[in-house]
């Protein structure tokens, strides 16, 4: 009778645990980064930035223990060569009303401040955006993820079942993507590691899921392959055409530049390239984020104003649009084509 009861308990535990596989997913989207947008060396190497500035935004309703941020800081300290250290700044909680009816992209931009404006030294910038996954955004936006167009922000929903047992690993996992892990396809699919016990594997295994039922925290480490990848990256030089300016990731191309935030980019004409004012640009983008709160993607051309304050004739940027038709980012190509079509109608 005792033996039979034991079998029944095991069967019940198995049935109860299976749904957890759906509750504890891995990344919400494929984390493969295009070759033109891989800023991992800016985070990993001592140069050109000697410090990582981490801005932490928490939307009202999201519970974020300090332990999670300690794990993040330790992970970055362990794997990044930054003589001036890792600076984690947790902003005041953001009222839910401030981002009411906003989509996740505009909301994340509207809440960020960027690095310390009083500092005379640019840092590698990282943004962590915490929100309650149950009541803040639409269901399709509730997975932890980064955006391939601008991988310097981790979107992290809270409030999931058993999350207290998985959050530390999830934060490290997403940070691993930002540091360039799993682009080496010798041991990955280009997005996640093939080694089952690796931190960068796509999801917890069956035994891990079973452990959650008993309150056991998920503990994963980088496999030897991923650890070796990070050490190899540290010997490489970063691309001089990829830099940070405040919170913006700047990508310099032939004749123009792209200033990116997640779900947002600004097309910068060549002559304006060295006059980018990230403070004013961020203020302008935040205004656009609030006015276009339902849109997922914001795009614009960054243009200088004439002496009387009015914008110059957009036709003066025709050459910029033509060059941007060959941009490696499809959204930039599409935008350039739209602007050229607008000019054709004007002519």
Clarify whether residues 24 and 144 are in a common domain.
yes
> Per-residue pLDDT tens for 108-129?
999 999 998 878 889 999 999 9
Which tokens belong to 265?
């980019």
Domain boundary among 204, 233, 262: 233
User: For residues 31 and 151, which has the higher predicted lDDT (pLDDT)?
Assistant: 151
> Per-residue pLDDT tens for 317-346?
888 899 999 999 888 898 889 889 988 877
In a domain? residue 288: yes
Clarify whether residues 14 and 149 are in a common domain.
yes
Clarify whether residues 28 and 160 are in a common domain.
yes
pLDDT (0 to 100) of residue 126: 97
Domain boundary among 233, 260, 291: 233
Clarify whether residues 170 and 25 are in a common domain.
yes
pLDDT (0 to 100) of residue 244: 95
Global pTM? 0.85
In a domain? residue 336: yes
Clarify whether residues 212 and 273 are in a common domain.
no
In a domain? residue 219: yes
Clarify whether residues 40 and 178 are in a common domain.
yes
In a domain? residue 59: yes
Contact status, residue 157 vs residue 144, Cβ threshold 8 Å: yes
Domain boundary among 198, 233, 268: 233
Clarify whether residues 39 and 150 are in a common domain.
yes
> Per-residue pLDDT tens for 209-242?
555 555 666 778 999 999 999 999 999 999 999 9
pLDDT (0 to 100) of residue 213: 59
User: For residues 316 and 172, which has the higher predicted lDDT (pLDDT)?
Assistant: 172
Clarify whether residues 18 and 156 are in a common domain.
yes
Q: What is the SS3 assignment for the chain?
A: CHHHHHHHHHHHHHHHHCCHHHHCCCCCCCCCCCCCCCCHHHHHCCCCCCCEEEEEEEECCCCCCHHHHHHHHHHHHHHCCCCCCEEEEECCCECHHHHCCCCHHHHHHHHCCCCCCCCCCCCEEEEEEEEECCCCCCHHHCCCECCCCCCCEEEEEECCCCHHHCHHHHHHHHHHHHCCCCCCCCCECCCCECCCCECCCCCCCHHHHHHHHCCCCCCCECCHHHHHHHHHHCCCCCCCCEEEECCEEEEEECCEEEEEECCEEEEEEHHHHHHCCHHHHHHHHHHHHHHCCCCCCEEEECCCCCCCCCCCCHHHHHHHHHHHCCCCCHHHHHHHHHHHHHHHHHC
In a domain? residue 238: no
Which CATH number is 160's domain given?
Answer: 3.40.390.10
Clarify whether residues 47 and 165 are in a common domain.
yes
Q: Give the chain's mean pLDDT.
A: 81
Q: How many domains does the chain have?
A: 2
Residue 224 burial (C-beta neighbours within 10 Å; 0-12, 13-18, 19+): exposed
Average the pLDDT over 66-95 and give the result. 96
Alpha-carbon distance of 109 to 288, in angstroms, equals: 10
In a domain? residue 21: yes
Clarify whether residues 156 and 286 are in a common domain.
no
Contact status, residue 247 vs residue 261, Cβ threshold 8 Å: yes
Categorize the per-residue pLDDT at 105 as very low, low, confident or very high, splitting at 50, 70 and 90.
Answer: confident
Average the pLDDT over 132-150 and give the result. 77
In a domain? residue 105: yes
pLDDT (0 to 100) of residue 304: 45
Q: Pick from 39, 81, 48, 32: which is nearest to 242 by CA?
A: 39
> Per-residue pLDDT tens for 52-65?
999 999 999 999 99
Clarify whether residues 153 and 251 are in a common domain.
no
Clarify whether residues 195 and 251 are in a common domain.
no
In a domain? residue 119: yes
Domain that holds residue 331: 243-346
pLDDT (0 to 100) of residue 269: 80
């Amino acid at each position: 009778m005792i033996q039979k009861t034991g079998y029944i308990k095991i069967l019940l535990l198995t049935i109860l645990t299976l749904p957890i596989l759906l509750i504890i997913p891995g990344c919400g989207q494929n984390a493969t980064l295009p070759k033109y947008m891989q800023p991992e060396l800016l985070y990993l190497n001592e140069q050109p930035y000697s410090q990582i500035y981490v801005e932490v935004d928490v939307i009202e309703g999201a519970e974020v223990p300090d332990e999670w941020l300690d794990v993040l800081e330790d992970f970055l300290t362990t794997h990044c060569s930054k003589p001036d250290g890792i600076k984690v700044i947790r902003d005041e909680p953001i009222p839910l009303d401030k981002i009411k009816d906003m989509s996740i992209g505009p909301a994340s931009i509207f809440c960020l401040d960027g690095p310390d404006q009083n500092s005379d030294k640019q840092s590698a910038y990282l943004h962590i955006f915490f929100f309650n996954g149950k009541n803040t955004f639409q269901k399709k936006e509730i997975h932890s993820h980064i955006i391939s167009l601008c991988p310097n922000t981790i979107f992290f929903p809270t409030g999931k079942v058993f999350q207290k047992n998985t959050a530390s690993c999830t934060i490290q996992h997403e940070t691993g993507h930002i540091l360039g892990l799993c682009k080496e396809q010798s041991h990955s699919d280009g997005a996640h590691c093939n080694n089952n016990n690796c931190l960068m594997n796509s999801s917890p295994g069956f035994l891990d899921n079973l452990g959650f039922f008993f309150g056991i925290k998920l503990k994963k480490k980088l496999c030897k392959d991923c650890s070796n990848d990070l050490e190899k990256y540290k010997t490489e030089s970063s691309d001089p055409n990829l830099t940070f300016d405040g919170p913006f990731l700047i990508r310099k191309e032939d004749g123009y530049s792209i200033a990116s935030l997640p779900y947002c980019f600004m097309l910068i004409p060549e002559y304006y390239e060295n006059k980018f004012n990230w403070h004013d640009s961020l203020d302008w983008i935040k205004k656009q984020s609030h006015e276009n709160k339902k849109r997922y993607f914001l795009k614009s051309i960054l243009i200088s104003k004439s002496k009387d304050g009015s914008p110059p004739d957009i036709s003066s940027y025709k050459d910029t649009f033509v060059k941007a038709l060959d941009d490696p980012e499809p959204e930039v190509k599409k935008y350039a084509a739209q602007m050229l079509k607008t000019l054709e109608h004007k002519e």
